[in-house]
Each structure stands twice: as C-alpha cells, then as structure tokens.
C-alpha cells in the first residue's frame, strides 16, 4: 500500500490487526497523517490483514512477517523494513495526541538522535495504573520542561533511523526489553531531547493480580538482561543486594510522583502503590540475577500486546 513519501514510521508489533486498531485510529487523526508510515510486525500476514478503510489517509502501510519473540529481533526486522528517516517504537496501548507527529518531526530538526514524547496516563483513575506509569515513564511526563535529557524511554521515543541501523548486527540485541541501547548510543555521543508537547496517552495495568505479576516479570527480565554474561558470584552479590532495590526505585520515582500531583489529578494511594510495586520489581530482579529470565519475556509480551485486557 503506498501514498506520499513518509517522514515518520510508526512500528508496532501485534498478533492480529484488531489488537492495533485503536492505535491506527489515533494515527489517522494526526495533523500530518499523510506523512506517516505504519509498520506492522506480525507472525502471520494472514492474521494481520489491514483493512484499507482502517488506514485511509496514511502515507503507507508495511506488514513485516516476523516472530514476536525475541522482541528485539522483531523490532529490528520492522526498523529495517521502514522507509521514513524517523522511526517510533510504538506500543499497542500508547495513543498519541493529534499533533504528536508534528511536534516530533519539528523537534528532530535539532541535533537530536532521539526525541522523547510527553507521557500521560490513559487510565488515570487508578493508583495502580499511576504506579506503573510513574515507574516506567516518570522521567518523561508531559509536565516536565522541554530540553536535553540523558536518555529517552525504551518505548515510544522517536529515533533517527540511521542511528539505529548504524548498530549493525547488534541492533536486535540492543532493542531487547531491558537492553542498554540508550547507554550504548549515549556513550558514542548520541544526544537526546524531551518534547513534552508531543503527548502520548499510555494505558497501564490496573487489576491487582496482573499488576503485581507485570512488575515482577519486568524486574526479572531487567535483572536477567543486566547480568547476562556475569560470573555466578557477581550474580549472587547482586541478587542479595536486591533488598535495597525497593528503596532505590521508590526514591528515584518520588520526583515523578510530586510532578504528577502538581500537573495532573493523581488518586490517593499512588505513593503507596509505587512502594508496593517496587517490592514486586525487586523480587523479580533478584530472581533474574539468580535464575535467569525464564519465561519473563513471553510473559511481558502478553502485557505488551494485550494491556487493554488488564486496564
């Protein structure tokens, strides 16, 4: 499917088109929809038939056949298939405001390798939902000032495609959840920017059981990926040291809690939810150091694809 030459490619992994239908509606509502390419990574093109009326107005739609796990491999395949100079690693549960693409493209006129959007809560009536957003995206809330930042988020940031392609055969590994892509590129001199007016409403888990599970599995995946290649004694030391992780994560999230309270309506109990979430994360992180990732990526993939079920 073709149209105008795109200047922004939005990459989304999915198991079927209905999973990303809400995302496509938000892309069609963009002020510059005719310059946006949708790149869909899907295991079976037969299950990912994109109805023409669902993407009418977009510049292009590209479907890439790829297994969804490992996620890094799937994302790398989609980036290579993209045709725009800018790419966004989107999510099935992240919904951009109508002028989001316009702000991202304008921000990239500066010397930035990646631009972080302004994150908002798509289901902000729940303290559990807020705890997830603040822990994962607190440094990039829409209420923060515009300017240079140390790193962009792993998801929803807008990258210059050439910067990612320059990582070569390592790109898939760098695009894994919990991988040090930002640190690696930052060490090479990459520069990052926050554009708070490029707003994205992010849906978060709010059902108690899945909420605790997501925090735990995310922590395990982080610990396992961080300790890949470490000798066992070092893993044991970090596993034991995970008792300090809840305090560290809560302290790091406190500024985001304060900012959210000033700029948005945050329910009571949000700080307590962040504290509890930090405990679940720490338990998972310790497991990652000591026992590896197990099924953590597969479990997290379910939340990534179908977060709306738990929101």
Q: CB neighbours of 58 closer than 8 A, spacing ≥ 6?
A: 3, 24, 27, 28, 33, 34, 36, 37, 38
Contact by Cβ (8 Å): 142, 186:
no
Separation between Cα atoms, residue 163 and residue 154, nearest integer Å = 15
Q: Nearest CA to 303 among 55, 21, 13?
A: 13
Supply angle C-alpha 282, 283, 284, rounded to 5. Answer: 90
Supply angle C-alpha 148, 72, 227, rounded to 5. Answer: 80
Handedness of CA 309, 282, 91, 132 (dihedral sign): positive
**pLDDT for res 61:** 96
Separation between Cα atoms, residue 289 and residue 219, nearest integer Å = 10
**pLDDT for res 5:** 86
- 112: tokens are 């930035």
Q: Nearest CA to 194 among 158, 235, 149, 163?
A: 149
For the chain, domain boundaries:
208-310
- 51: tokens are 């109805």
Contact by Cβ (8 Å): 16, 50:
no
Handedness of CA 157, 162, 165, 168 (dihedral sign): negative
**pLDDT for res 278:** 98
**pLDDT for res 113:** 96
pTM recorded for the entire structure = 0.95
**pLDDT for res 46:** 86
**pLDDT for res 182:** 72
> From the first residue on, what is the mean pLDDT of each consecutive set of 10 residues in the chain (311 residues)?
80 97 98 97 91 96 96 97 97 98 98 97 96 97 95 95 94 83 78 98 98 98 94 98 97 96 89 98 98 96 97 92
Residue 70, preceding bond cis, omega within 30 degrees? yes
| SS3 state of residue 18 | helix
Burial of 265 (0-12, 13-18, 19+ CB in 10 A): exposed
**pLDDT for res 3:** 57
**pLDDT for res 180:** 67
**pLDDT for res 183:** 72
């Amino acid at each position: 499917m073709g149209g105008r030459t795109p200047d922004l490619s939005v990459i989304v992994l999915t198991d079927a088109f209905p999973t990303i239908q809400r995302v496509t509606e938000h892309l069609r509502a963009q002020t510059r929809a005719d310059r946006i390419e949708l790149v869909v990574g899907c295991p079976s093109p037969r299950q990912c038939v994109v109805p023409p009326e669902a993407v009418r107005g977009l510049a292009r739609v590209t479907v890439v056949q790829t297994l969804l796990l490992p996620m890094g491999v799937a994302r790398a395949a989609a980036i290579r298939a993209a045709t725009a100079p800018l790419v966004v690693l989107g999510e099935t549960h992240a919904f951009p405001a109508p002028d989001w693409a316009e702000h991202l493209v304008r921000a990239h006129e500066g010397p930035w390798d990646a631009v972080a959007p302004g994150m908002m809560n798509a289901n902000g009536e729940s303290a559990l939902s807020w705890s997830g957003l603040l822990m994962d995206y607190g440094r990039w809330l829409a209420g923060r000032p515009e300017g240079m930042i140390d790193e962009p988020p792993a998801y929803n940031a807008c990258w210059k495609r050439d910067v990612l392609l320059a990582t070569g055969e390592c790109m898939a590994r760098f695009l894994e959840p919990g991988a040090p892509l930002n640190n690696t590129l930052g060490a090479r001199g990459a520069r990052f920017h926050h554009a708070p007016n490029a707003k994205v409403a992010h849906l978060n888990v709010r059902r108690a059981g899945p909420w605790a599970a997501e925090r735990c599995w995310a922590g395990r995946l982080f610990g396992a990926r961080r300790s890949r290649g470490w000798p066992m004694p070092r893993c044991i030391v970090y596993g034991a040291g995970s008792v300090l992780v809840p305090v560290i994560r809560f302290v790091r999230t406190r500024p985001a809690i304060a900012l959210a309270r000033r700029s948005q309506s945050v329910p009571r109990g949000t700080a307590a939810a962040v504290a509890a979430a930090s405990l679940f994360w720490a338990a998972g992180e310790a497991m990652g150091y000591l026992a590896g990732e197990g099924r953590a990526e597969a479990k997290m993939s379910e939340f990534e694809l179908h977060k709306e079920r738990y929101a």
